[in-house]
Amino acid sequence: MSGIRALARRLELSIGTVSRALNGRPDVNPATRDRVLNAAREMGYRPNQSGRALRHGRTSTVGLVMETGNPSTLGGDSFFMWLVDALQEELAVAGLDLVILPCHSADDPIAFLERQVARRAVDALIISATRRQDARIAYLAGSDTPFVALGRSETPGDYAWIDLDFETVARESVERLAALGHRRIAVAVPQGDANLAHLYLRGYRAAVAALGLPDDPALVLRTSASENGGVEVAQAILAMDPRPTAVMLGHEMMAIGLYSTLERAGLRPGADLSVVGFRQNPQLGFLSPSLACFRLDLGELGRALGRSVVDVLASPAGLKPGRLIWPMGFEPGPSMEPPPL
Amino acid sequence: MSGIRALARRLELSIGTVSRALNGRPDVNPATRDRVLNAAREMGYRPNQSGRALRHGRTSTVGLVMETGNPSTLGGDSFFMWLVDALQEELAVAGLDLVILPCHSADDPIAFLERQVARRAVDALIISATRRQDARIAYLAGSDTPFVALGRSETPGDYAWIDLDFETVARESVERLAALGHRRIAVAVPQGDANLAHLYLRGYRAAVAALGLPDDPALVLRTSASENGGVEVAQAILAMDPRPTAVMLGHEMMAIGLYSTLERAGLRPGADLSVVGFRQNPQLGFLSPSLACFRLDLGELGRALGRSVVDVLASPAGLKPGRLIWPMGFEPGPSMEPPPL
DNA sequence: GGTAGCGTCGGAAACGTTTACGGTGGTGGT
DNA sequence: ACCACCACCGTAAACGTTTCCGACGCTACC
């Protein structure tokens, strides 16, 4: 109806000329170009996405896969909300659109990716919350679909990824707690095969061994990646004897449940149990006493992720894919104190 | 490359026949059909989305607009996570795909919608978190794009919507609190023009007037739609004299901040201040004492939303669009008690 | 004055599908 | 033996866009 044909007819031009004018080709009279652009604006013309994609062989759209149905392993629910913003902005400067593709966690993730890839509705994919062994990466690396993984994996293959430096975060957490005098330090990570949890534990264990701290398996807690997981962490710690004097949280949302359970038990975070966590969600600022944490700026991460996607799409296949280990700065807070007594 | 042409060549059939076989048309030999289907499976053939969309004039995709950059007015961030699941499932039975379109709240929402509509990358749109005066609805109702609004609006126009019955929720909250003996009842809603907040306040005021309770403007609190908003609510209530004996929360996440602030002040939800709220997020079960609330099953809502979209797409333009006011059941909890003394 | 060059434009093919239409061969009936 | 009919399949057009190619008119130059 309101395609380029109608526009051409109305201007008494050929559709070829109109298309060239719209796309800023040089071989069109400036006066004609203005006439076309004005008419296009007036008629509210927008090129049909399907036609353009069909002609170009690409859609100029990248898909961000979002697992639904269970809390995201990485950083809680609002993760996408804050990440997507900057990501979209960064992709826009390269002329790319962003869509979020919801993938039910109960469904087969490979089949889901396969569908997205084969139908060619997106040019590239972004997956997140990578597992230690991740079949999605194995599949995508074997296909010819450009993709970027938010999080690395032990699955072999050449692919671009950006991962949080959770190993350093955990190591430095132990060191900072130990410097305050803590020796029995508990650690909590989401259960499951998430690679982030693995890295966090690896950093924890390395630091504990290096500093000669007690290496008690009971100090390692695996709970759900949510507020409720924090409740479980607190309950487990309260039941321990001897009780650890500090805990490190490998998931943001755990802090909420931990705080409320501690306070209900008459204990204060910081004074009675030191807590050091990780934070990416601006909304978590309400915690009091405020949480000592390693802080991730999801805006910066989103921009880096966008640039990585653009790079992958621009680079000829076979070029070495970009990899990035994302550092995070420590933000002190009164939830960390020397151990009582 | 691996289009229907290659498939046809390999099978020594015409692409027309292959297409008919794949689409289950009757006029194709069953033996041939099997041959085609087997070869398609073997080659991993998937119809190109762009080609099909171009031919059909529709994309079989619906877009769910997600505002990013600020917490969603309706139900916090995890809202989409839990809604999308069932929505997607329901759309799938009608052969529709779902994508989430992130829209930065700082950008012009009309321009965003206009882009989505004109490029014809989706057949229908879903918008949520409707405002009392909502320019998006005015725009979409004036265009020819099928859409469903999650939430109604005072903006005139014929369009399909599903809205939570927050007016009844608020009215019943007041009545239940009054039945326990409460008279000074505070109410908290997100600031801004969200229609849900308006409905909630309307129900509150109607019940307060009907029951002859004190109608003090200071009892109406407007805070941010987040945990931090709950902190503000608690601080405001603690500063009041006379202090209300109960508070109703028009946003889910407020309960978290409210609880923690109350407990830090040495008050217990329920015993010292009755709280009745609203809950849709399964993860909020960690609150203790558990929250008396009106509960929304986002799965059911998502399914209804999906059906509504399918209806809108199937119904000839001009048919009366479906509208639905979504009731919510009350779930008792120890956060509601008779007022102290 | 012919021709090369340039600026500008129209024509047409192509992307991958679907589908209306027509054609083929075979079967059945009269 | 002819015709009608059916089952099956190939042909081609169409969706909206971009882009290659060629054509046209004009200027400038030899």
Q: What is the pLDDT of residue B1?
A: 63
Q: What is the pLDDT of residue B81?
A: 79
> What is the number of CB-based contacts under 8 A between chain A and chain B?
156
Q: Roughly how many angstroms between the first and final C-alpha of chain B, as a whole number? A: 79
Q: Is the pLDDT of residue A139 over 70?
A: yes
Quick check: B37 CB within 7 A of strand D?
A: no
Q: Is the pLDDT of residue B132 over 70?
A: yes
Q: What is the pLDDT of residue B202?
A: 98
Quick check: B51 CB within 7 A of strand C?
A: yes
Q: What is the mean pLDDT of residues A311-322?
A: 83
Q: What is the pLDDT of residue A222?
A: 97
Q: Which two tokens stand for residue B259?
A: 């609880």
**Min CA distance, A284 vs chain B (Å)?**
8
Q: CA-based Rg of chain A, rounded to a whole angstrom?
A: 25
B99/A49 Cβ within 8 A: no
A283/B228 Cβ within 8 A: yes
Whether residue A94 lies within 8 A of chain B, CB to CB, comes out as no
Assign A79 a pLDDT band (cuts: 50, 70, 90): confident
Q: What are B135-166's pLDDT values in tens digits?
A: 999 999 988 889 999 999 999 989 999 999 99
Q: What is the pLDDT of residue A146?
A: 94
Q: CA-based Rg of chain B, rounded to a whole angstrom?
A: 25
Q: What is the pLDDT of residue B71?
A: 59
**Beta-carbon count within 10 A of B340 CB:** 9
Q: What is the pLDDT of residue B77?
A: 58
CA distance B167 to B197: 9
Quick check: B32 CB within 7 A of strand D?
A: yes
Residue in B301, B303, B292 with CA at minimum distance from that of residue B325: B301
**What is the SS3 assignment for B87?**
helix
Assign A144 a pLDDT band (cuts: 50, 70, 90): confident
According to DSSP, the residues that pair with A187 across neighbouring strands are A220, A248
**Minimal Cα distance from B77: which residue of A?**
A78
A257/B260 Cβ within 8 A: no
Q: What is the pLDDT of residue B2?
A: 79
What is the CA B18 to C1' C30 distance in angstroms?
38
**Minimal Cα distance from B264: which residue of A?**
A263
Would you tell me which residues 253-292 of chain A have a C-beta closer than 8 angstroms to some C-beta of chain B?
Answer: 253, 256-257, 259-261, 263-264, 283-288
Q: What is the pLDDT of residue A204?
A: 98
State the nearest residue by CA to the C1' of C14: A55
Least confidently predicted of A4-18, A68-82, B235-249, B276-290: A68-82
Q: Which two tokens stand for residue B202?
A: 């309307």
Residue in A97, A164, A112 with CA at minimum distance from that of residue A306: A97
All domains of chain B, ordered by start, with CATH?
4-47 (1.10.260.40), 61-164+298-326 (3.40.50.2300), 166-296 (3.40.50.2300)
Q: What is the pLDDT of residue A281?
A: 79
- ω before B338 within 30° of 0 (cis)? no
| One-letter identity of residue B168 | T
- B225, B255 contact by CB (below 8 A): no
Protein-covered nucleotides of chain D (CB closer than 7 Å) are 7-12, 14-20, 22
Q: What are A208-248's pLDDT values in tens digits?
A: 999 999 999 999 999 998 899 999 999 999 999 999 999 99
Q: What is the pLDDT of residue A77?
A: 58
Assign B37 a pLDDT band (cuts: 50, 70, 90): very high
Q: Is the pLDDT of residue B278 over 80?
A: yes
- A247, A258 contact by CB (below 8 A): yes
What is the CA A265 to C1' D16 distance in angstroms?
67
**Beta-carbon count within 10 A of A63 CB:** 25
Question: Average pLDDT of chain B?
Answer: 92
Residue in A68, A71, A108 with CA at minimum distance from that of residue A223: A71
Q: What is the pLDDT of residue A187?
A: 98
Query: What angle in degrees, to the nearest 10, is found between the helix axes of B254-264 and A254-264?
Result: 30
Q: Is the pLDDT of residue A145 over 60?
A: yes
Q: What is the pLDDT of residue A117?
A: 84
Instruction: Give me the percent of chain B exceeding a pLDDT of 70.
Output: 96
What are residue A210's phi and psi, to 5 degrees? -65, -35
Question: Average pLDDT of chain A?
Answer: 92
